[in-house]
């Protein structure tokens, strides 16, 4: 992965550890918002990613590129692929049971991804320093050990729930959302 210093954990970063209340190994993570473009079941044209954590430390999901996702003829749009990477990384910080948002997302496009391809997405955290989480993801063609098509590195920053309540409906967020434990 070509990564800038912004998405590289500093030497003093802590090793990430899942929250005691995080989804256990082998379980599905569910959607963080039903109308989310990345994971919401109610989004009419979204990516509909459904992530699982096989081990409590990484998350995985599959994304099949459809005709609605084209950039060049019969090839996936780079922005859609970046959205998929953002989403799978966003799901991986769920393991910490704290609200984070993307501050920076860096993406390497390694191979073209034709319509009809199933990308196997995987994300994990490389370190946490204060409010900052340093994360990475990859998308492989056709199988979990298939050729890498996309890589991403990201800096996510922890926020409080007010961040979302300022623009969304606070009651609706509370009704469908996990109760994040901000001070475990
Ligand atoms: C209901 C639950 C829903 C769950 C949501 C899942 C989301 C899925 C992923 C997404 O798509 S999120 C949507 C896209 N992202 C955004 O809309 C975030 C927009 N940006 C912001 O809201 C603010 O800029 C941000 C919260 C990221 C930071 O603002 P703050 O005022 O809270 O913090 P500050 O600016 O002091 O930055 C904190 C630290 O992060 C660093 N930082 C922030 N943004 C950075 C950046 N872009 N690049 C590099 N460093 C950055 C900043 O330098 C600083 O470092 P130090 O602590 O070392 O001084």
- Work out the burial of residue 12: count CB atoms within 10 Å of its CB; fewer than 13 is exposed, 13-18 middle, 19 or more buried: exposed
- Work out the burial of residue 166: count CB atoms within 10 Å of its CB; fewer than 13 is exposed, 13-18 middle, 19 or more buried: exposed
**Grouped pLDDT means (10 residues each) for the chain, 184 residues:** 92 90 90 92 94 95 96 98 98 92 98 98 97 98 98 97 84 64 41
pLDDT of residue 159: 95
Kindly provide the b/e burial profile for residues 30-58, where b requires at least 16 CB atoms within 10 angstroms of the residue's own CB. Answer: ebbbeebbbbbeebeebbbbbbbbeebeb
Q: Which residue's C-alpha comes closest to atom 31 of ligand 1?
A: 159
- Work out the burial of residue 144: count CB atoms within 10 Å of its CB; fewer than 13 is exposed, 13-18 middle, 19 or more buried: exposed
The residues spanned by each domain of the chain are 15-176
Q: Are 43 and 163 in contact (CB under 8 A)?
A: no
Please give the CATH topology (third level) of the domain spanning 15-176. Answer: Thiol Ester Dehydrase; Chain A (3.10.129)
How far, in Å, from the CA of 86 to the mean position of ligand 1? 13
* 37, 79, 103, 155: residue to mutate for ligand 1 pocket, most atoms within 8 A of CB: 103
Ligand 1 contacts CB of residue 154 (under 6 A): no
Claim: this prediction has a pTM higher than 0.90: yes
How far, in Å, from the CA of 169 to the mean position of ligand 1? 21
ipTM: 0.96
pLDDT of residue 63: 98
pLDDT of residue 184: 39
pLDDT of residue 181: 43
């Amino acid at each position: 992965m070509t990564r800038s210093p912004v998405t590289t954990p500093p030497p003093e970063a802590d090793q990430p550890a899942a929250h005691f209340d995080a989804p256990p190994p082998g379980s599905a993570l569910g959607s963080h918002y039903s109308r989310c473009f990345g994971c919401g079941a109610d989004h009419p044209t979204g990516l509909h990613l459904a992530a699982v954590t096989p081990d409590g430390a990484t998350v995985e999901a599959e994304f099949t590129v459809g005709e609605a996702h084209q950039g060049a003829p019969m090839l996936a749009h780079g922005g859609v692929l970046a959205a998929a990477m953002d989403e799978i990384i966003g799901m991986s910080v769920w393991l910490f049971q704290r609200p984070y948002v993307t501050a920076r997302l860096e993406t390497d496009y390694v191979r073209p991804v034709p319509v009809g391809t199933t990308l196997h997405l995987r994300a994990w955290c490389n370190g946490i320093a204060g409010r900052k989480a340093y994360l990475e993801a990859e998308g492989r063609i056709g199988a979990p050990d298939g050729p890498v098509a996309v890589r991403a590195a990201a800096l996510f920053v922890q926020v409080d729930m007010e961040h979302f309540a300022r623009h969304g409906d606070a009651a609706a967020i509370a009704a469908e959302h996990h109760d994040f434990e901000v001070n475990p």
